[in-house]
Chains A and B, each alone.
Chain A
Amino acid sequence: MSFASFSEFLAMGSHGPYVWSAYGISFLVVLLNVALPLLARRRYLQEEARRLRREGAQ
């Protein structure tokens, strides 16, 4: 462990805002990259289900 306490870990020796904002934004971007294709897939399946139901009703 390179830090003595948790508050020291958060402070990152005066570089806290830089380190945490870099990690935070990158984490959000990574999450977005996973979530968008999963949501797109779900939407596509829902659309197809609707289309099949419509065609089945005719």
Chain B
Amino acid sequence: MNWTWFHKLGSPKWFYEISSLWLRGLSVAAILLILVGTVWGLAFAPPDYQQGNSFRIIYIHVPAAFLAQSCYLMMAVAGLVGLVWKMKLADVALQQAAPIGAWMTFIALLTGAVWGKPTWGAWWVWDARLTSMLILLFLYFGVIALGQAITNRDSAAKACAVLALVGAVNIPIIKYSVDWWNTLHQPATFTVTGKASMAPEMWLPLLLMVLGFYCFFGAVLLLRMRLEVLRREARTSWVKAEMSRLLEKVR
């Protein structure tokens, strides 16, 4: 197998050049998918036979919750790559993904509370799924705070990578919490093996929203990473050239 792409990924210059194209593609895909998914989910999908129209919150709740967990897994992988191969970009990705993940966890918790009120009659219950998601939010805060508290960049990278790896144990707990414990939270809508527990006109917009949220995450992550690369590599000649090109445009 040819591994050049993997080593190229470690080079900030190569990443910066190639990611401009990815950023454009992901932005367009995110806008289209989220727009179509929202309109479809809000206006065209049929109401749930038990929950009525409050179920439409699913179209933001589930994508945000998916992303909150995927983002943490991505950070754990980036942490591992950073620790093992000392790849510069892995730390950039880890640090820049944490705030986005925290915001997604916040959306999942908030929309869950707003959905819980008319459905369960309570904004919040100390249930296994909800509590493990709250722990995920605190793990994100931990990574952000750790990254900002340590001034030495290499030590900060190492500490954040270890926290991301150790915290990843929470992800299977979130995933299986609805099976392991008796919870108020409903079981998974999508499963890898079985078929979806919903009608296609209900889960198709959900699928679009999930894909749209992933594209949104990718686009925002690239946006943040590109700025961070410019900052960290400010002394290299290629960044100096790129900066003068960007400053020309601003003027």
Q: Which residues of A contact B (CB under 8 A)?
A: 1-3, 9, 12-15, 18-19, 21-23, 25-26, 29-30, 32-34, 37-38, 40-41, 44-46, 48-49, 52
Q: Which chain B residues border A23 with CB–CB below 8 Å?
A: 38, 42, 57, 60
Q: Which chain B residues border A12 with CB–CB below 8 Å?
A: 52-54, 56
**Min C-beta distance of B95 to chain A, whole Å:** 13
**Inter-chain contact count A-B, CB under 8 Å?**
86
Q: Are A21 and B114 touching (Cβ within 8 A)?
A: yes
Q: What is the CA–CA distance of A33 and B64 in the complex, to the nearest angstrom?
A: 13
**Min C-beta distance of A2 to chain B, whole Å:** 5
- Mask: chain B, 18-58; 1 = CB below 8 Å from A; 0 = not: 00000000000000000000100011111100001110110
Interface window among B78-86, B185-193, B219-227: B219-227
Interface window among B126-134, B148-156, B168-176, B242-250: B242-250
Ordered by A's residue number, 18 sampled pairs between the chains whose C-beta atoms are within 8 Å are: A2-B45, A2-B46, A3-B43, A12-B52, A12-B56, A18-B114, A19-B57, A22-B61, A22-B110, A22-B114, A23-B57, A23-B60, A25-B107, A25-B110, A26-B60, A29-B103, A29-B106, A38-B223
Q: Which bucket holds chain B's interface residue count? A: 35 or more
Q: What is the CA–CA distance of A23 and B60 in the complex, to the nearest angstrom?
A: 7
Q: Are A33 and B54 touching (Cβ within 8 A)?
A: no
Nearest residue (CB) in A for B41 is: A23
Q: Are A33 and B115 touching (Cβ within 8 A)?
A: no
- Mask: chain B, 101-121; 1 = CB below 8 Å from A; 0 = not: 001001100110011011000
**Min C-beta distance of B38 to chain A, whole Å:** 8
Q: Are B64 and A26 touching (Cβ within 8 A)?
A: yes
Q: Which chain A residues border B144 with CB–CB below 8 Å?
A: none
Q: Which chain A residues border B52 with CB–CB below 8 Å?
A: 12-15
Q: Which chain A residues border B103 with CB–CB below 8 Å?
A: 29, 32-33
- Mask: chain B, 176-218; 1 = CB below 8 Å from A; 0 = not: 0000000000000000000000000000000000000000100
**Min C-beta distance of B239 to chain A, whole Å:** 10
* A18 in contact with B115 given A12-B53, A34-B220 (CB within 8 Å): yes
